[in-house]
Structure 1
Amino acid sequence: MLEVLFSLGLIAVCNHWLLNLNMLIIYFLWSLLNLYEVGEFNLKIIMILLSFWLVSMMIMSVDLKDKTSDLLIMFKLLLICLIMVFYSDSMIMFYMWFEISVLPVLLIIYGWGYQPDRLEAGFYMIMYTVLFSLPLLIMIFYLDKFIYLNKGVVILLMFIMAFLVKLPMTGFHFWLPRAHVEAPVYGSMILAGVMLKLGGYGLIKVTFFLGDTLFLYSTSFIFYSLLGALWLSCVCFTQSDMKMLVAYSSVVHMGIMLSGVLTLKNISIEGAVFMMMGHGLCSSGLFCILGVTYTRTLSRSIFLNKGIYTVMPASTLWWFMFCSSNLSFPPSLNLPAEILLITSIFSYTSISWSILILLGFISSMYSIYLFSYTQQGQTSKFFSFCNLSHKENLMMLLHWVPLNLLILDLSLMTFY
């Protein structure tokens, strides 16, 4: 991985977009050869592969008029930060790059966002991240004295609050819908695809030395997370903005993943990795096709985008593909992820069955609601649009193919 970092530094002076995209593809293929390893290193490689893939998709999604050297520098800085976050072994280096990775996303929202409200959205994001990360920094300095500390719920929260905000957990999620609404398409893609996975990766990382303390309080966190996911699933039906609905669906999926990780079972950790990969590709694809639709209709409203099927049927095909993957329809990677996570939660506490049944039903319905209300019906505003270009179809295909083909060999993403 050091070779990749050195070569990224060498091409940092090159502002040619196509050359950088080709280099990212080469780095992806080179990292793919390291998947034979086992243990935590394999988890690092999986997250780095996801970062390479989605940053490549981000570069492809940028319009010609937005292809400036400043934006390309932001992409490369973000990629270097993500590689260093996943590659760091020491907690202090992990914390440093964990915090620095927020800055490129913040600058992308500020510089290339849609509306003046992006200033408030960026302020929300940076304040949530910095405020809840400070306790983690304090506990890292006392990590060598951890065995002497009173392992109560306060100590536990100081360790994991930074990751609960990044996931985000229900109650710490208010920055995410604002950031998604104001971010450009490529900003939303990296937020949903990789930035949210930093919280899941960090939580898995701290469970290696917080296992006993987490076990004492995990039941309360599991029920709170499941009830929060159930509540936000209902909130999805009240949204008229498509970006807000997809953003809240991300919080629901991460709530299920958090509940599974807190059971501290092997199958739950594997299910969490499958969920991070599947949701990263599926949510990024949803934001991508949403951005393609927005460039033509100039609206994110569910009601103003009715009847897209009659004027742009190719777009409807991709909406169906990603909405079905979002509700864990086979052969999506989300299906084995939810099976493993729900199995681990039910085996941990059998009284959660009623919440899991309601959550599974409602979380499927809002994906059907999103597809049916935006694609079907009679349109009274639009008459025709340009069809999807070859590049846009390629972007959709590159999101959908790994999302649905990785289920053929799940052993590629296991690290036990």
Structure 2
Amino acid sequence: MLNLSLLLSVGGSNMNWYYRLWGLCVGSLFSILLLWSGGVSMNSESFWLMSDGLSSSLVVLTLWISALMVIASQSFKIKFNKPSLFCFFVCVLNLILVITFFCSNVVWFYVFFEASLVPTLALILGWGYQPERLQAGMYMMLYTITASLPLLVLILLSVETGLTGDFILKEVLMGKSNQSEMWGASVTKDVVFMVGLAAFLVKLPMFSVHLWLPKAHVEAPVAGSMVLAGILLKLGGYGLLRMYQFLGFGALGGLKDVLFCFALWGGLITSFICFRQIDLKSLIAYSSVGHMSLMLAGVFSNSSWGWHAALGMMLAHGLCSSALFALANYNYEKTGTRSLVMNKGMLLVCPILSMWWFLFCVVNMAAPPSINLLSEILVFPSILFYSLWLLIPLGMMSFLAAVYSLFLYVSTQHGGFSKFIFPFVGMKSNSLLLLFLHYLPVNIMIMKADVICLWVV
């Protein structure tokens, strides 16, 4: 909300593009410093809003990615295709996400959770690259809305039965053991579990309900891809953690065990699918599904380590995948295609761009010193303590993440470059700044690891 006020304070029809950009940057930087210095109370709560380490960390990620997506969008298409309207939708999406993360009432949380789809759809339809963006937007809306409508019924039933819709008061009024028993004999626990989490599993997304994500990424502009991977997927993870507590699923088994195994094996299958992709953005999108499957397994482990690893993985993946989509866009601007067959030899054309590809592919495979490494160190024991049989998909996912990250780097950087490549004038300063601002937090956070552990489960 801070960067929205700064942006509007510049105001006026003559507001310059760079003023909008610096309004977002200053707001995001101020929010980062405020959280880093401990100026935000992690346990404060009010009648409408609440703040803890989970919500505050994701709000800072939202503000940070929003500023970076405006920097990445300074292309010809955005500049001369209603830039004021573009910035308006970015700010509206920003405001909705901040309210969603800070909202303490479950009904209003659902309202703003679904409202975030509207500006995202506007970004895809208004500034997408190809005519198929309409089909991609329809896929996204149908998948998410169909899965979330039963959740609304469950939320209203839960509020009526539990006498409160507040995330914090629910735990005070009813113990976790009572929450799992409050549905009565007419509704099975497994059905409640599936309905309660289905909307967030689609938004995350989990394997088998992920088909909308590659389509949306391929048709979205660079800003749409950055906000989808960097923020909206984290909205699904945030809702998963909140509703897991609110509906008292900690003591449940049965279907949860099935979904636990399905998430890991689905992530393994998705890692194999990455090798068959010929589109840059599609490969990065499928890798996101694999990383979010690992995050989902950390949540289902129902342990403090697993939940802290899930939060760290969301933050690391938000920054890393956003940077990879920005890099894919730079390749697309110079070659006019996102095909892996055509995007070769960038090491000969622009070595500094190859350096950034290498750094973010290394982060994507959870190499030190990224926060991704810390998250995987935490998530491994939490999953293995749950069941030793899950070592096979877990180890394979970790290994294949390194394999397809190296495959992505080698495919785009080595070999002879195409003769039809556009005249290359090197990287501009704002592009290098964008990549540096992606890389800095994901490696600095491991030095300030207590930020990840501020949220006490």
TM score, norm. by length of structure 1: 0.95
CA contact (8 A) 1:12 1:76 kept: no
With over 3 angstroms needed to count, the CA separation of the structure-2 counterparts of 1:12 and 1:45, relative to structure 1, is farther
With over 3 angstroms needed to count, the CA separation of the structure-2 counterparts of 1:7 and 1:140, relative to structure 1, is farther
2:199 matched residue in structure 1: 162
Further displaced range: 330-339 or 245-254: 330-339
Aligned residue among 406, 410, 413 for 2:452: 413
Quick check: 1:138 aligned with 2:153?
Answer: yes
CA contact (8 A) 2:151 2:196 kept: yes
1:24 matched residue in structure 2: 24
**Partner letter of residue 389 of structure 1?**
K
1:300 matched residue in structure 2: 338
Quick check: 1:148 aligned with 2:183?
Answer: yes
2:55 matched residue in structure 1: 44
Instruction: Give the Cα separation in 2 of the matches to 1:20 and 1:85.
Output: 23
Deviations 1:191-224 (A, max 9, x none): 0000000000001101213344663132211100
5 Å matches for 1:6-405?
A: 15-32=15-32, 33-34=34-35, 36=38, 37-39=41-43, 41-65=52-76, 66-67=78-79, 68-144=83-159, 145=161, 147-149=182-184, 150-212=187-249, 215-217=252-254, 218-381=256-419, 385-405=424-444
Further displaced range: 358-367 or 14-23: 14-23
CA contact (8 A) 1:215 1:264 kept: no
CA contact (8 A) 1:214 1:262 kept: no
Q: CA deviation at 1:364?
A: 1.3
CA contact (8 A) 1:293 1:315 kept: no
Q: CA deviation at 1:361?
A: 1.1
Instruction: Give the Cα separation in 1 of the matches to 2:19 and 2:420.
Output: 38
Q: CA deviation at 1:404?
A: 1.0
Instruction: Give the Cα separation in 1 of the matches to 2:108 and 2:9.
Output: 23
Q: CA deviation at 1:172?
A: 0.7
**Partner letter of residue 191 of structure 1?**
L
**Partner letter of residue 394 of structure 1?**
L
Instruction: Give the Cα separation in 2 of the matches to 1:26 and 1:379.
Output: 39
Q: CA deviation at 1:378?
A: 2.2
CA contact (8 A) 1:78 1:105 kept: yes
Identical-pair percentage:
38
Deviations 1:161-207 (A, max 9, x none): 11000000001100000000000111100100000000000011012
SS in 2 for 1:328: coil
SS in 1 for 2:225: helix
Q: CA deviation at 1:45?
A: 1.1
Instruction: Give the Cα separation in 1 of the matches to 2:115 and 2:139.
Output: 16
With over 3 angstroms needed to count, the CA separation of the structure-2 counterparts of 1:31 and 1:379, relative to structure 1, is closer
**Partner letter of residue 361 of structure 1?**
F
Instruction: Give the Cα separation in 1 of the matches to 2:273 and 2:337.
Output: 21
Deviations 1:307-357 (A, max 9, x none): 111111111001001111000011111111111112211111111111212
Gaps of 5+ in 1: none
Q: CA deviation at 1:87?
A: 1.2
Instruction: Give the Cα separation in 2 of the matches to 1:11 and 1:204.
Output: 37
Further displaced range: 148-157 or 56-65: 148-157
Instruction: Give the Cα separation in 2 of the matches to 1:58 and 1:379.
Output: 28
With over 3 angstroms needed to count, the CA separation of the structure-2 counterparts of 1:8 and 1:302, relative to structure 1, is same
Further displaced range: 261-270 or 57-66: 57-66
Instruction: Give the Cα separation in 2 of the matches to 1:212 and 1:163.
Output: 14
Q: CA deviation at 1:26?
A: 3.5
With over 3 angstroms needed to count, the CA separation of the structure-2 counterparts of 1:4 and 1:108, relative to structure 1, is closer
Q: CA deviation at 1:5?
A: 6.7
CA contact (8 A) 2:3 2:23 kept: no
Gaps of 5+ in 2: 44-50, 163-181
Instruction: Give the Cα separation in 2 of the matches to 1:4 and 1:113.
Output: 25
Deviations 1:58-105 (A, max 9, x none): 111112531321111111111111111101110111111111101111
CA contact (8 A) 1:241 1:301 kept: yes
**Partner letter of residue 27 of structure 2?**
Y
Q: CA deviation at 1:156?
A: 1.0
* C-alpha RMSD of the superposition: 1.9
Instruction: Give the Cα separation in 2 of the matches to 1:303 and 1:206.
Output: 43
Q: CA deviation at 1:362?
A: 1.3
Aligned residues: 415
With over 3 angstroms needed to count, the CA separation of the structure-2 counterparts of 1:240 and 1:403, relative to structure 1, is same
**Partner letter of residue 113 of structure 1?**
G
CA contact (8 A) 1:294 1:300 kept: yes
Q: CA deviation at 1:159?
A: 0.7
CA contact (8 A) 2:29 2:64 kept: no
Instruction: Give the Cα separation in 2 of the matches to 1:141 and 1:12.
Output: 41
TM score, norm. by length of structure 2: 0.87
SS in 1 for 2:366: coil
Instruction: Give the Cα separation in 2 of the matches to 1:10 and 1:82.
Output: 20
User: Which stretches of structure 1, 4 residues or more, deviate above 4 A after TM superposition?
Assistant: 3-15
Instruction: Give the Cα separation in 2 of the matches to 1:162 and 1:168.
Output: 9
Q: CA deviation at 1:25?
A: 3.2
